[in-house]
Amino acid sequence: MRPDDWVEHWLHNELGFYDSEWAATQIVRDDPAQYDLYAYKLAPLRCLGADQERFDVPRTADPVPSDYEFLGYDIVTKSVTSFFECSPLSCNWAADDRFSANQYCLIDNPAEAYKVLTAISIDGNFEAGPYYLFEVYRKRRPFERELPSLVPAGAERIVETAHQDERVLRSVRYEVGGTSVARRIYDERGGLELEYALRDDKAHGPWRRYYPDGQLLQVGHYVEGKEHGVARQYDESGALIGSHEMVHGTGLDLWYSAAGVLAEERSYLDGERHGFERWWNEDNRTIYEESHFWRGSAHGIMRQWTALGRLRRGYPQYFVQGERVTKRQYLRACQTDPTLPIRRAQDDQPERPLPASVMSQLAAND
């Protein structure tokens, strides 16, 4: 969080950048390690409409340090003051609507970046120019390692729509020679949220989920459309906070709110929800929602609890093969259907045991 008198702490140069890491961190009043540091290289070219001109970059700086990684090329405006302003790639959704960008909403290679620069400048429908080309770098975080791109160079980009959790998101499918090889899904702001490899139009190979700033959130693997292998989840500092393992779509899908703190639990069989689904409080002891599924359909008792651990009004609710039924109908169905969980009064309390896999992770960390 910025201090109240943050303007008085500005130490940037006349272009709006800091000349050193030391100057950039002086405004930070807590641990500087919690923040990312970026470096920029300005190309000596500006564009306005169809006109292009070279210019002398007004400042020289030391080379980008070796512990900074290259993220990509950005196109930036500077129309009013001496400070640089907006990126049409992210501010105007250009990366989502028209141009292929990586998970950082940047362009990967210089030739393509130059094409995008000239196209944006001529278009006239973005933030006012002139437009400048930057190389963008970020200081490496201790945990980071290089991850190969899931999208081959030269792949054709096909923009589609994705529906996820009642959200309508932009989906981009990539093809090589008419064959789908990868898909990327972007959030409402145009940031990369999820990407995965494709084979025969099914998820097959690595998948990755990202935080809004482009940082890695979760990695895993698919085989023929079903999650297979160990998936790992990282916090915003890059530390591993939990994992789970699936075997061809069968297993327990886990989501963590912090290291060793379970937030969500879903049981799957052959790629379908099958068994209990639970939403955990941050105490590894109690839950605030629970459902049961059988081969993808609600099939059991649904409960929700208040923050005080009391059942919410209207719960429990009862389901048989996806249809909501009365308590009487449910108890009658239990007499002939052994796949339905038995109604037990003690289950109306929110206490639940942690899954064995989570207990094992906690024990390993002790």
For residue 31, count CB atoms less than 10 angstroms from its CB and return exposed for 0-12, middle for 13-18, buried for 19 or more.
exposed
Over the stretch 274-317, which tens digit does the pLDDT of each residue have?
Answer: 999 999 999 999 999 999 999 999 999 999 999 999 999 999 99
Distant-in-sequence, close-in-space partners of 301: CB < 8 Å, separation ≥ 6: 290, 291, 292, 316, 317, 318, 319, 330, 341, 343, 347
pLDDT at site 1 = 46
User: Is residue 208 a contact partner of residue 150, using CB atoms and an 8 Å limit?
Assistant: yes
d(CA 150, CA 173) in angstroms, rounded, equals 11
- Give me the half-sphere count of Cα atoms (radius 13 Å) on the Cβ side of residue 292: 18
pLDDT at site 79 = 82
Instruction: Report the 10 Å Cβ neighbour count for 170.
Output: 19
> What is the widest separation between alpha-carbon atoms in the chain?
83
d(CA 80, CA 97) in angstroms, rounded, equals 26
CATH 3.90.930 fits 201-365, yes or no: yes
In the numeric block, the tokens 């969500």 are attached to 264
Q: What does the block give as tokens for 284?
A: 């590894």
User: Is residue 266 a contact partner of residue 277, using CB atoms and an 8 Å limit?
Assistant: yes
Over 170-206, what HEC string results?
A: EEEEEEECCEEEEEEEECCCCCEEEEEEEECCEEEEE
pTM of the full structure: 0.63
| Full DSSP string of 229-295 | EEEEEE-TTS-EEEEEEEETTEEEEEEEEETTEEEEEEEEETTEEEEEEEEE-TTSSBEEEEEEEET
| Full DSSP string of 289-330 | EEEEEETTEE-EEEEEB-TTSPBPTT-SEEEETTEEE-HHHH
- Give me the half-sphere count of Cα atoms (radius 13 Å) on the Cβ side of residue 47: 22
The C-alpha R_g of the chain, in whole angstroms, comes to 25
d(CA 58, CA 132) in angstroms, rounded, equals 14
The two beta strands, 300-304 and 323-325, are: unpaired
User: Is residue 127 a contact partner of residue 92, using CB atoms and an 8 Å limit?
Assistant: yes
Domain extents for the chain?
36-139, 201-365
Closest to 35 in 3D by CA, of 45, 27, 44, 43: 27
In the numeric block, the tokens 């000349």 are attached to 19
Distant-in-sequence, close-in-space partners of 346: CB < 8 Å, separation ≥ 6: none
Closest to 319 in 3D by CA, of 303, 304, 299, 337: 299
Alpha helices in the chain (DSSP H): 21-25, 88-91, 94-97, 110-123, 327-334, 356-365
Residues of the chain below pLDDT 70: 1-10, 26, 28-34, 59-61, 92-97, 141-147, 162, 164-166, 168, 361-366
d(CA 111, CA 285) in angstroms, rounded, equals 55
Instruction: Report the 10 Å Cβ neighbour count for 147.
Output: 11
pLDDT at site 316 = 97
d(CA 218, CA 231) in angstroms, rounded, equals 7
